Structure 1
């Protein structure tokens, strides 16, 4: 099974999710450090749709200036545009497999798509 994780190595939950993927037999993991190679708006929209969450639900407020910039009250289009420009605004980690996409908070949610 192929799995892609949008990973932030500084995040404990992201590291734990990656460890689960690495320790699961038969999983071929692709790691995308999204702070280095940002998301496109199209990819964000696809991930959110496949995970059945809204951009607002994926907006990371803690440790960012997203709330001060008014993103908590912004339209979904504005949130997605801000996330594409500033990937730190995206909650982490997202994992995509043939079985679906999950925002893996907590990290055990990754088991739903393995």
Structure 2
């Protein structure tokens, strides 16, 4: 499993704690330093709108899914975090406990 993580985000840090407490083994990807491609974003299988940090890009509320994926690929700061990618699928950790469903 891989957690797309931003260590400056308290929710993302909490997700690491929740997963560790559950005994999960996972890798951490610092997605701001190692930005995902558009193909990686679409491969998550999650709705584009769910991946968007709306408070950081309110104008994107009217964008199509394709436009949102393009925006996220161009500016990974707009990706909602954290995201856990597991064999069972992918999930946004809002709240962090939501990630436990993938274990």
Q: By the TM > 0.5 criterion, same fold?
A: yes
**In structure 2, which of residues 29, 45, 51 is the aligned counterpart of residue 58 of structure 1?**
51
Query: 1:7 — aligned with what?
Result: 5
Which runs of 5 or more residues in structure 2 are unaligned? none
Q: CA deviation at 1:57?
A: 2.3
Q: CA deviation at 1:101?
A: 1.2
Q: CA deviation at 1:21?
A: 1.9
**In structure 2, which of residues 24, 32, 37 is the aligned counterpart of residue 35 of structure 1?**
32
Provide runs of 4+ in structure 1 moved above 6 Å: none
Deviations 1:53-106, CA, capped at 9 Å, x for gaps: 4101221022x2x22xx3211111111011001011111111011222111100
Q: Tell me how far apart the structure 1 counterparts of residues 95 and 80 of structure 2 sit (CA, whole Å).
A: 11
Bigger Rg, structure 1 or 2: 1
Counterpart secondary structure, 1:10: coil
Structure 1 vs Structure 2 CA RMSD: 1.3
Q: Tell me how far apart the structure 1 counterparts of residues 49 and 91 of structure 2 sit (CA, whole Å).
A: 15
Number of paired residues?
103
Q: Tell me how far apart the structure 2 counterparts of residues 33 and 92 of structure 1 sit (CA, whole Å).
A: 11
Q: Tell me how far apart the structure 2 counterparts of residues 110 and 61 of structure 1 sit (CA, whole Å).
A: 20
After superposition, residues 80-91 of structure 1 pair within 5 angstroms as 80-91=69-80
Counterpart secondary structure, 1:28: coil
**In structure 2, which of residues 74, 77, 81 is the aligned counterpart of residue 92 of structure 1?**
81
